A and B are shown apart, each in its own frame.
Chain A
Amino acid sequence: MAAQLNIGWGKRSLAPEFPVPIPGQFYMRVSLGTYTPVLASAVVLENGEDQVIFVSCDMVSVVPDLLLKVQALLAAEVPEIQGEKLIINATHTHAGPGSLDLGDYPRSVEMKEGEEVRIFLARQIADAVKEAWEKRAPGSIAYGYGFATTGHSRRVIYMDDIGQRLGLRPGIAIDGHGKMYGNTNDDMFASYEAGTDPFINLFYTFDKDEKLTGAVVNVPCPSQTGENAWVLHASFWHNVREKLAAKYGEIGVVGQAAAAGDLSPRQLHYRAAELRRYQLKYPEKIAEYMANPMIFPGYENLSPEDKKRACENSCIEYMRAEDIANRIVAAFDEVLEWASQEKFTAPELKHEVRVVDLQRRMFPREMMEEEKKNHENFMNEEMMLEGDKWDQLRHNSLLNSRRVRCGSVVKRYELQEEQPAIPSDIHVVKIGNIAFATNRFELYMDYMHRIQARSPFEQTFIVQLVTGPNGCGSYLATVRGEENKGYSASPYCNQVSPQGGQELVEETLKILKEIK
């Protein structure tokens, strides 16, 4: 019999008062304000024998240095917290504060960046964890799964090699039969690569009076609606939190993306039908949004008509977030209704943290040579030093991205022989009959199915984009992904090979079986 479980929740805003970079596109954006709260949400589960602290951050990714800073703060301030038991995942909103170093290009827009931003974010995340830790009290948990359509496949496959049609996109992607977000209204459109996954995994927490205190909500979808925004926002997780708060009061929500490297919130067919759906279903919300839209550079100079036009796309994206949130909340309620019949006050809690070596994605010398040339070409392209500051920012940051991406292929080629494997941190957590298994990648969905199908647990929550001291991020494509190419499945995007992906599957399963 395991010990009584203690549960605590905490949260902090990740929206600073000052402008910060918003990463997620090839060009950099800078925050012009905060449209919805962006949060670090923490839940502590501990029973005196072991602990796990889930923290979800409304960010595109969390760099390792930020994790280390959070761990250092907690080590100094709350030594009982085991820093290595922190599982911080990025929800992958493309409109969160950026924790990365921006790179070498002229700054035309004022903002705080890099270390300064990380110091702010680390404080907020550490405070959320501290709050959760301090508030922890005996409680219970329940779990279940249901269905909610959140992500759609974003890898469109063609009968012909669309790379031949589109030409080269150096520094961005190498297209083949696959193209990310490709046009489906094309006579050579063949299929979506791997389809989608409508499962939603839910883990609820209750206080000693059996009142709902929060939930870990795990869906195979990155929260990247409104992904071109110049204001901070949390995508559909914000809508989910608001709806749950209206129903259940101020409860905690850890929003996790399950494996969804090849999924996104966008529908790639039925676009006109989607538009009509929102117009008929959410007319008031549309009016509300259009009266107070997400702004962007130059917005104030537009005529009212142009403002309206310019915001139509972000409005649709916002309605998509609302629609996804409604489905998540419907599933949340449905599962809660039956799953809460079975509450566990003392589930077995085991938390393993390991470093696994995953085979690097290798590529031939010719490809490196090609990228070297591309890199040189981009180095010869000039940064923009005058003109509109926003144009400068877009141009310079995009050029920098392309330089970095081409350059990184060259660097990685050099590492191929001496470091054929990449160390990667994974967490595997047992909580009674269910488990959580993390990875740092934008993991293709197939890997999740492989783990879930073979896991000895009733449900296995896969959590992607979990930062470890050894790194964070990068797409991990499958064999079919690599064959089809396209953005997310070319050497620009893949540090780890499909074989490495299978190693991740096997290593994860090994631990799952050990702790079962």
Chain B
Amino acid sequence: MKKCAATVIMLFAALFLLPSCASTQECKKSAAGTLKVGWGRRSIAMKGAVPITGQFFMRVAQGAYTPVEASALVLEDSKDAVIFVSCDVVSVNPKVLIAAKELLKKELPAVPVEKIIINATHTHAGPSTHDNVITYPNKVDIVPGEKVQKFIARQIADAVKEAWQSRTSGAVSYGYGFATTGHSRRTIYLKDMGKKVKAGTGIAVNGHCVMYGNTATADFASYEAGTDTFINLLYTFDAQGKLSGAVINVPCPAQTSETAWAYNASFWHNVREKLAARYGRKIGVIAQSAAAGDLAPRQLHYKDAEKRRYMLKYRELMESYVKNPMARPAVNGVVDKNVPLDSNEVIELMRAEDIANRIVAAFDEVLSWAGKEKFDSPVLKHQVKTLRLPKNDFPKAIVLDEQRKHAASMKERFKTSGDPINMLVHNSRLNSRRRRMAAITTRYEQTQKEPYILTDVHAVRIGNIAFATNRFELFLDYQHRIQGRSPFEQTFIVQLTVDPKGTGSYLATERGEKNKGYSATPYSNQVSFKGGQVLVNETVKMLYALNDRKTALRKNPAVITVPKVKGAPGAADWAKAPRLKDLSVITTNLLQQAPTTLRLLHDGKFLYVKANCGTAAKGDKVLAPPVSMVQRDGSLWQYESIEFFIGRNKDSYQFIFAPGGKLADYSHSAADKVSGVTWNSRKVWLTTTFTADGWEGVLAIPLDELAFTGKSKAGEYKFNFGRNAFSQKASGMTSRETGAYLPLDGPFKNIANCGTLKLAR
């Protein structure tokens, strides 16, 4: 008897293979590719006393310290298109999107405006795109919100027009690397800090979490979700193969210098400058923030070390800055120009420089290898879907509490005299707090009538990668959920994209809600963590649809009733059998899933399992086990094969069957001394045939030979099945994929909690 434990255990382990993408459809370099690429950009640094939002108080622009821009990239292939626009603003009001679309419809109707994806980089020092109606005493001249919206819509429309009109045949390549950009900003404490660290009414409610909380304290426990150092990159090239730009996606909002009174694009400015110096001024950059609701550019420990790093690394830059610092308003007639070298203002700028250096290093590193594989005709598909997400449903007690706090805040007074800037800061902050408290009541009442918000989500496929957007400041865990389950090689999550149906807000996780703190309280959360999971599930569905795969969302455990037939089933019987398909992919190097359908019938004596196994693409050759292979060979799983598991309690049987009539059967019964011994059933039988697009096989399992320990219901079994899909393309490239019907991890033989088979009487 051959022992097979070691080899069989590898079955559902990760199969890392060495494919080359060079022969997939996407990689084919045709004489003239279908993809057209165009870039455009415009300044959005509106002159005048434009409001800058991002803090609880209002600031007014004192000029531009760095350019702030709208950058546009058009990717179009005559069948579909995507237009990415990134804006150096904290968020983009839906009115701006609507206005920009109107302009484009009128001036350049060929532009498919519904395919525009505008994201805010979340710099806290860009022109505000919101209404900014001043309802409090104010002596500072401020450009009305409506005017700013109109200006920015114009600039965005012009950037898009330029990109559309300049589009020419081109190509893309993609890859990922590592660059530390954001750090967790949610500090968790061993005890509830709500009373110790008061956040202020209208701002936040602290619990075990305090945003940007002090870590140098005995109660400090951890960062909530840690960080993410991945950087996703999509490069574009012109028809001559020259780099024309890139989409850069990092999980970090661009919010260094977040209290500046002058326009400042944060680290994206430094990135653009560095890339321009390397690759020419015309290089386009779409700057995207991946999910980073709980991340920020700030380090919350090692602050002295950070300061020393900058002092030693960027001394000259720091010295030149303090000689010519960012403009700030006069307070009581005096402009404070004294900026110490080690002040927070200087540190913030160096932080931007440091982050930009890491982004650019990763940009170059990834380009060096990803640039080898350019795609001039990638599949381009862009889907927009309106989702319904459950609102944050907080209890009435919170509303009553906020009403009390609001009433108290109404007794606080606005400043009506004194320095205009001091007045603006004080009054706008008081106004913000009042509005946030009042909003709790409004939202509570609205939620009673309509418990869902509507939100537009874009999912875009470009060859083997995808983009998925949302309007939120999305907590990082959601990104991992989507990326972990996405069928694409890389999935760029883009947060803070404009949604005509509403503006963004933090979307916290369940652990976030439990820990509280700014960004995870009813003040900040329109949508509940349950809504966050709906966003994840719906996004994954959209991604699967774009990938031509069926959804992987299966309820676990599944219950399947197996119809009874008389004797060995014929074609008419099989037509009535339940069809089990859509395997969850465990490992793959395939873009399109190899189709698998399993059908089940029984006649009281045998359980019949019929598998239809297609190849991923027409013409692929099934990699069947060699004819010379003996029956019950332990390495059968290393070839094209189906694995079927049936069991009860802790016992299970495993059947691996493959084209060419090869079969291996194993018993994993608890009674066996050695796990995974070959079983050698006497009555099991198998027939297989090759078909036009793969193969099929019928396995008959003798029910009376299945022995189990313990008691369980007659005619009920646990089951699962998987496929090792191995095929070869005409080019010689091997395609391999392993998938399981029910989510499976750990010991594959353990199916006690998998699906249930009920044999019909």
How far is the CB of B461 from the nearest CB of chain A, in Å? 15
Q: Look across to chain B and name the residue whose beta carbon is closest to the beta carbon of A165.
A: B753
For residue B304, CB closer than 8 A to chain A, the reply is yes
CA distance A475 to B579 in the complex (A): 46
A148, A273, A337: the one contacting B489 at CB < 8 Å is A273
A269, A341, A479: the one contacting B483 at CB < 8 Å is A269
1/0 contact string of B336-361 vs chain A (CB within 8 Å):
00000000000000000000001001
CB–CB A454/B215 < 8 A? yes
A184 touching B369 in the complex, CB below 8 Å, given contacts A338-B313, A381-B673: no
For residue A135, CB closer than 8 A to chain B, the reply is no
Q: Which of A38-46, A47-55, A186-194 lies at the interface with chain B?
A: A186-194
CB–CB B585/A185 < 8 A? yes
For residue B500, CB closer than 8 A to chain A, the reply is no
CB–CB A280/B369 < 8 A? yes
Interface residues of A in 186-219 (CB under 8 A from B): 186-192, 194-199
Q: Look across to chain B and name the residue whose beta carbon is closest to the beta carbon of A282.
A: B369
For residue B218, CB closer than 8 A to chain A, the reply is yes
Give how many B residues have a beta carbon under 8 Å from the other chain's beta carbons: 87
1/0 contact string of B164-200 vs chain A (CB within 8 Å):
0000000000011111100010000010000000000
CB–CB B308/A458 < 8 A? yes
A309 touching B638 in the complex, CB below 8 Å, given contacts A166-B747, A279-B18: yes
CB–CB B176/A269 < 8 A? no
CA distance A23 to B17 in the complex (A): 27
Contact partners of B489 in chain A: CB under 8 A: 270, 272-273, 276
CB–CB A145/B302 < 8 A? yes
CB–CB A169/B743 < 8 A? no
CB–CB B304/A281 < 8 A? no
For residue B225, CB closer than 8 A to chain A, the reply is yes
A167 touching B229 in the complex, CB below 8 Å, given contacts A147-B358, A179-B746, A279-B18: no
CA distance A268 to B484 in the complex (A): 8
Interface residues of B in 357-405 (CB under 8 A from A): 358, 361, 368-370, 372-373
B19, B215, B750: the one contacting A453 at CB < 8 Å is B215
* Listed residue (B6, B18, B372, B747) with the most chain A CB atoms within 10 angstroms of its CB: B18
CA distance A300 to B402 in the complex (A): 74
For residue B258, CB closer than 8 A to chain A, the reply is no
A147 touching B180 in the complex, CB below 8 Å, given contacts A166-B746, A191-B477, A382-B673: yes
For residue A450, CB closer than 8 A to chain B, the reply is yes
Contact partners of A183 in chain B: CB under 8 A: 586, 743-745
CB–CB A189/B485 < 8 A? yes
A179 touching B752 in the complex, CB below 8 Å, given contacts A198-B229, A273-B489: no
1/0 contact string of A329-357 vs chain B (CB within 8 Å):
01000000111011000000000000000
Contact partners of B25 in chain A: CB under 8 A: none
CB–CB B650/A167 < 8 A? yes
For residue A446, CB closer than 8 A to chain B, the reply is yes
CB–CB A191/B480 < 8 A? yes
CB–CB B556/A190 < 8 A? no
CA distance A478 to B217 in the complex (A): 18
Q: Look across to chain B and name the residue whose beta carbon is closest to the beta carbon of A434.
A: B305
A149 touching B222 in the complex, CB below 8 Å, given contacts A187-B554, A395-B5: no
How far is the CB of A515 from the nearest CB of chain B, in Å? 17
A195 touching B485 in the complex, CB below 8 Å, given contacts A145-B305, A183-B745: no
CB–CB A279/B552 < 8 A? no
* Listed residue (B180, B556, B635) with the most chain A CB atoms within 10 angstroms of its CB: B180
CB–CB A187/B638 < 8 A? no
1/0 contact string of A156-196 vs chain B (CB within 8 Å):
00010010111101000001000100111111111110111
CA distance A166 to B215 in the complex (A): 38
CB–CB B485/A339 < 8 A? no
How far is the CB of B319 from the nearest CB of chain A, in Å? 15
For residue B227, CB closer than 8 A to chain A, the reply is yes
CA distance A427 to B228 in the complex (A): 31
Q: Look across to chain A and name the residue whose beta carbon is closest to the beta carbon of B744.
A: A183
1/0 contact string of B4-22 vs chain A (CB within 8 Å):
0110000000111111110
For residue B432, CB closer than 8 A to chain A, the reply is no
A312 touching B229 in the complex, CB below 8 Å, given contacts A183-B586, A184-B484, A184-B485: no
CB–CB B483/A195 < 8 A? no
How far is the CB of A378 from the nearest CB of chain B, in Å? 11
Interface residues of B in 548-595 (CB under 8 A from A): 552-554, 556, 584-589
For residue B511, CB closer than 8 A to chain A, the reply is yes
CB–CB A187/B312 < 8 A? no
For residue B684, CB closer than 8 A to chain A, the reply is no
A-B contact pairs, 18 of them (CB 8 A): A146-B309, A166-B750, A169-B746, A184-B484, A185-B485, A187-B553, A187-B554, A188-B556, A191-B225, A195-B226, A197-B226, A198-B178, A269-B480, A290-B18, A306-B635, A309-B638, A313-B16, A502-B190
